[in-house]
Amino acid sequence: MLTVHQSNARGAVDHGWLQSNHSFSFGHYYNPEQLGFGPLLVINEDRVQPSRGFGTHSHSNMEIISYVISGALEHKDSMGTGSVIRYGDVQRMSAGTGVSHSEFNHSTTERVHFLQIWIQPNVEGIAPSYEERHFDVTQKEGNLLLTASPDGRDGSVLIHQDAYLYSSILDGDQRAEYQFQPGRIGYVHIVRGEVVVNGRQLRTGDALKVVHEDRLEFTQGKEVEFLLFDLPY
């Protein structure tokens, strides 16, 4: 079964310094039909104005992934980690027993645009940790690039859940296929552009829930960048 969740059906908030779209219920946005998907609990598409951001706040027992689309995102946390990530960079923070952090737009002139992704871990009470990786555009072009995994293989960031995150860029005649193992579900999020997935047309901000499907075929990409989650049911 394939279920399309269109971009304009997401929750939307505008705080002036922050414009955000929520794929799942988050904060003041509540949709009983969008309460996460398997262990995938949050995909927020955030646009933060120059020199603004999220002040210090705390998390525990959550896998948090930041995927930068444009601009520069500055991160500081109670583990002593401080960094600035840009397009192509992926950041993973395992909150574990508890961590405090802040996220700010590093630029004084340009917005930062990124996805904040939360995945429920399959183990609690671990020591908090941080990791980041850079993935070049050429690694994603015409390819499903493993970006996050439970074992950190092939240069992916490590997440504490039986979940796999792939990123891809397709254009023109480029195509990609993905085979699911029995008992797995999938979620596709379109970062930008458009693509056809098993006959469904998806555009920027759209998503596709995948249940009881063996295979996905991505075709007719038009400068599309997307994320594919392979998740436990």
Summarised one tens digit per residue, pLDDT across range 83-108 is 899 999 999 999 999 988 889 899 99
pLDDT of res. 126: 94
- Is the pLDDT assigned to residue 2 strictly greater than 90? yes
pLDDT of res. 35: 92
pLDDT of res. 54: 86
The two structure tokens encoding residue 111: 């917005």
Supply the CATH number for residue 133's domain: 2.60.120.10
Q: Could you tell me the residue range of the domain that residue 145 belongs to?
A: 2-232
What letter would DSSP give residue 95? -
- Is the pLDDT assigned to residue 82 strictly greater than 90? no
- Model confidence band, residue 53 (pLDDT cutoffs 50, 70, 90): confident
Residue range 18-36: average pLDDT?
94
> CB of 144 within 8 A of CB of 178?
yes
pTM of full prediction above 0.85: yes
pLDDT of res. 118: 97
- Is the pLDDT assigned to residue 76 strictly greater than 90? no
The 10s digit of each residue's pLDDT in 165-215 is: 999 999 999 999 999 999 999 999 999 999 999 999 999 999 999 999 999
Q: 110-137 in b/e burial notation, b at 16+ Cβ within 10 A?
A: ebbbbbbbbbbbeeeeeebebbebebee
Q: Residues, the chain, total?
A: 233
pLDDT of res. 130: 93
Share of the chain above pLDDT 90, in %: 89
- Model confidence band, residue 55 (pLDDT cutoffs 50, 70, 90): confident
Number of domains forming the structure of the chain? 1
> CB of 227 within 8 A of CB of 188?
yes
Residue range 60-71: average pLDDT?
96
- Is the pLDDT assigned to residue 56 strictly greater than 90? no
pLDDT of res. 129: 92
User: Do β-strands 157-158 and 145-149 pair in parallel, antiparallel, or remain unpaired?
Assistant: parallel
Rounded to 5 degrees, φ, ψ at 46 are -110, 140
Share of the chain above pLDDT 70, in %: 100
